Structure 1
């Protein structure tokens, strides 16, 4: 496939590289064009050939096994369809001080039929994409033996887990209103970069959800997990036709019904998460009463202009939010969730609107809001 140059030290890893370079499905190798592009288009595969090999490090399997103490369960920090994620400790390149660098290692579940394709997509996309609101891929490992195939990814470590954890896991203190807005502004900037930030290619994320918004030590958000990402439509086309994949409750209905994928599919998903930060509820909660299980159906009965709107707000906020700002976020979410994808705003507009909403907030006076201000400095464009 030629997506990147493997420079492995180990013979078996070179063999794995040879296998990984086999032709990929046509849909993943299509050239595409960002809406603002004025130069000839280039595919992610071509850009990865050029940039990925220079930016990404090839790790040995033994090195990753040692860094994770043999992929110890004690160091496991997450698990998903792709596989398990571990905290990993590496010796600092500085040498003498004996310091350690903490990274995250994602290990492919060998029973995952789609795992290799998603692993390859992550290496391709994150070997090219670079933005403050995207997680940084440090390197990868690919080793094939007679009995097994090993595919691993090495990322920067995000100590504050995900937005999903902080919204829905009661073990974490509630996020302040200000912090919720700043996290969503950062996530919106990440999506805007994917949609319009690269001159050569447009990227559709396809799996935006709170669980994929990771938080660093300062609660700065970074989009992660690019296994389902796709290049946008080629010049002259309005969409990419593809099998419907993603997470139930976040995929746009037009994408589900037609398989037509556009950047506006991501905008819909963003609207869902906006309502999650307002309500503190997941997009789908089977434990709720029947009329409240589907988040979007429930909030539509309490529109922003209604007197009952306050009843949908996350009780963990304790009323510490500007009511006018909350209503404005709900209006923005509703714009992201309109049925006709062409009528949804671009992510650039979403960023600008959220920044205006942030300015509506009165000076922070509560301990919770002050704590939120300490954890996350003012967002920068």
Structure 2
């Protein structure tokens, strides 16, 4: 069995891992690195894969998928909601590229081919990729996210992005037994994380203060996963919330696939009470009537959230509440660390309060170690992290073989 890391080797972004076993080649994920712009793409595999499996819809795992279909015809496998969300996010990335004037290695034509070649798979449903038997397991990261079990010369589990604790939206990861090789994400392998429950409590307290004081809170949120989770966390305050941006479409998709989340009825109850903003006039009404504005983009890289940001920038009592990771030098990172919004030629000071709550959808360092213990592999391959090499060293202390390949590196297992 051979593994070639085409992307996300000792870094976060453009995930792509090629597995070769029993004369079959399976590509697991094929993503982009969003920042800095223009995006960086994982290189094409040296030969045509027999299949590609997409773990989840986030663009750093799915965003280069159409590129394969400019060169080859091959089957793709993913869950139903992942297909719908991937299509939404890639369509948006094509629009952004056209608007900002940079060239992409594919178009709507290749995206349509990819969608046509995709087979949707349920968790636990066996399927064949090349000569290899595969199945998907709930990864607990975002709706529809999956870890990929491939039975070849050895049984290999590719975690994708994984979160093994339940949240308001998801049940948490489900792991298979009998794993020989674990290819694990390592996002939080190098640092400890604040307990999630405390971050959720602090966010709710801040929202309660905003409502009591009659002020405004702007919550930038990733359209897929985070927006729906925050809506559920703030269920009690649904009548105070306005939802805007691509988060609206993503929430509609997630809601229509209720079997992929923990409590579809509860989410629908929230959606029936919130305000759905559909125009600039609606934005003005939302600012007047709804103190909590939830909108994408989560890193303030664009979208309708900027319209709200301009409105509250000089209001010292208003709040911006980030709910997740901010890439260094992203517009959101600048707002949090420098109190300045600077993007696409627009720059202004931020005089309102800025807060951050770490509602990560990735396993903590301790959670990653639990995943290793539970799956009990003899070999571990660390990808998708800035501390992969250090994490591999720690894993070796437990008596397992561990690797942290760089991009372009092939390892024999």
Place the TM-score, normalised by the shorter chain, in its bin.
under 0.3
TM-score by length of 1: 0.25
Identify the structure with the greater helix proportion: 1
Identify the structure with the greater strand proportion: 2
TM-score by length of 2: 0.23
